[in-house]
């Protein structure tokens, strides 16, 4: 299936943002370790550190499929549903942590912001190019 110039541009944009996300991820190792040490004794099932790990893996999985192949292996409707469900700033522990994080965890805060942005770009891409009715 031939891709339009717009679709190729949007894939490249997602790739650019993803590369920035990876750079931030590399630079936040110290903050990540500090957050993990702070939360490892927590009684909460899913603290901020756990959510960070899960969200990163879920969203990055879709992003890398789009970058490499231009589509997701999973059915597009399921991807859309899952990406809508992964709203980072609707997760209670992140919402409670986020306003206080700027001083102590600026890189993780920036990572969450960029991760949510790439989630939205990925959602838009899948809705626009991977749903059957968009390929008419």
Residue-wise pLDDT for 1-15, tens only, equals 467 899 999 999 999
Round to whole Å and give the CA distance between 40 and 33: 10
Domain ranges in the chain? 5-135
- Asked whether residue 86 carries a pLDDT value surpassing 80, the answer given is yes
Q: Is the pLDDT of residue 51 over 60?
A: yes
Q: Which long-range contacts (CB under 8 A, 24 or more apart) does 40-44 make?
A: 44/93
Give per-residue pLDDT as tens, 12-26.
999 999 999 999 999
Residue 66: pLDDT band by 50, 70, 90 thresholds?
very high
Closest by Cα among 105, 114, 113, 117 to 29: 105
Tell me the pTM.
Answer: 0.88
């Amino acid at each position: 299936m031939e891709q339009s110039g717009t679709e190729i541009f949007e894939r490249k944009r997602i790739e650019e943002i993803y590369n920035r996300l990876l750079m931030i991820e590399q630079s936040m190792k110290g903050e990540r370790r500090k957050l993990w040490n702070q939360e490892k004794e927590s009684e909460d099932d899913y603290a901020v550190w756990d959510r960070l790990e899960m969200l990163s893996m879920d969203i990055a999985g879709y992003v890398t499929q789009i970058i490499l192949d231009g589509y997701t292996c999973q059915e597009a409707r399921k991807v859309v549903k899952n990406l809508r469900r992964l709203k980072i700033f609707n997760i209670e522990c992140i919402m409670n942590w986020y306003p206080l994080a700027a001083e102590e965890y600026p890189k993780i805060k920036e990572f969450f912001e960029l991760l949510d942005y790439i989630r939205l770009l990925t959602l838009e891409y899948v809705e626009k190019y991977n749903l059957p009715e968009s390929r008419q």
